[in-house]
Amino acid sequence: MKINDAYLEYLLRLGDNALILGQRLSEWCGHGPILEQDIAITNIALDFIGQARMLYQYAAEIEGSGKTEDDFAYFRDAHQFKNVLLVEQPNEDWAYTIIRQFMYDAYNFYFHRALQTSKDPKLAAYAEKSIKEITYHLRWSSEWVVRLGDGTTESHERIQRALDEYWSFHGELIIPDEIDMIMAETEIGVNLTEIKPLVEEKMNEIFLMAGLRKPASTWMHKGGKNGIHSEYLGYILAEMQAVQRTYPGNEW
C-alpha cells in the first residue's frame, strides 16, 4: 500500500471516530439526566464534531480531487466509514454512555498526546489543539465512572453491566493493523503498541477506584477500521445524512 493511500485512510479513521461518537453523544441533547450534564455531554459532542471537521478538511486536501469535508460526512455509505465499532454502539443509558466514553477517552488521550510529535506538522498542530479538549473529556468520564461504580448499589450494578457488555469493543482501539503500523513507521501516526500499556493502566486505575471488576475476557471485536460495521451504523448515517441526501448541497 502506498503511503499516501494509507495516510488518507488513517485520517478518515480518525475523522470517522470523532464524527460518529460526536453524533452518538448529540443524541443526548435535550435528554440528559439533569440540565448541567445535558450541556456537558453536548459540549463534548461538539468538541468531537469540531475535531472531525479538521480531520476531514485535511483528508480532502491530501485526497486532492476537490472533495470537501461534507462529502466525507454526508456522501459515503456505511462500508466506507472506518470508525471503530465501539463509537457506534448505542447510548442505552447513562452508564453505557459513560463506559463507552471513558474507554474511548483513555485511548484518545494517549493517542493525541503522542500525535503531538507527529512528523507531519499539520497533524501535530491538530493534536496540540485537540489535546486540551480531550484532557477534559477524560477527566469528566473518569469521574463519572468512579461516581457510578462507587455510588449506590444500583448505579454500581448498572455500570458493571455496561462495562461487561462494552469491554470487548475497546481492543480495536489499541491493537494495530497494517495501516496503523505503516503510519507508525513513518512517524506521522502513533505507535499503538507504545500507548497500549498506558491506556490499560489508566483503565485499571479508574476501575479500581470505582470498585469495578475488569472483565476476564480477552476476546475483542474488530472490523470497523476496515468498514465492517454493526447494524447500528446504518441507522446513525440515515439520520445524520438525511437532509444532505434529500437536498444535496443544501445550505442554511
Footprint on this chain of another protein (rule: CB under 8 A): 34-37, 39-40, 43, 139-140, 143, 147
**Residue 68 phi, psi (nearest 5):** -115, 175
Nearer to another protein, 1 or 34 (CB): 34
Taking Cα atoms as reference points, which of 98, 71, 103 lies closest to residue 85? 103
> Per residue, what are the HEC states of 19-72?
HHHHHHHHCCCCCCCCHHHHHHHHHHHHHHHHHHHHHHHHHHHHHCCCCCHHHH
Give min distance, CB of 29 to another protein, in A.
13
Nearer to another protein, 128 or 143 (CB): 143
Give min distance, CB of 43 to another protein, in A.
6
Nearer to another protein, 153 or 250 (CB): 153
Nearer to another protein, 15 or 149 (CB): 149
Nearer to another protein, 29 or 39 (CB): 39
Give min distance, CB of 143 to another protein, in A.
7
Checking 144-149 for CB contacts under 8 A at 24+ apart, the result is 144/94, 144/98, 144/101, 144/102, 145/98, 145/99, 145/102, 145/206, 145/207, 145/210, 145/212, 146/206, 146/209, 146/210, 148/94, 148/95, 148/98, 148/210, 149/207, 149/209, 149/210, 149/211, 149/212
Give dist(CA 37, CA 81) in Å, integer: 29
Give min distance, CB of 41 to another protein, in A.
9
Nearer to another protein, 39 or 208 (CB): 39
Give min distance, CB of 225 to another protein, in A.
32
Give min distance, CB of 147 to another protein, in A.
7
Give min distance, CB of 34 to another protein, in A.
6
The position carrying cell 459540549 is 43
Nearer to another protein, 90 or 151 (CB): 151
Taking Cα atoms as reference points, which of 194, 242, 251 lies closest to residue 73? 242
Taking Cα atoms as reference points, which of 61, 60, 188, 192 lies closest to residue 121? 188
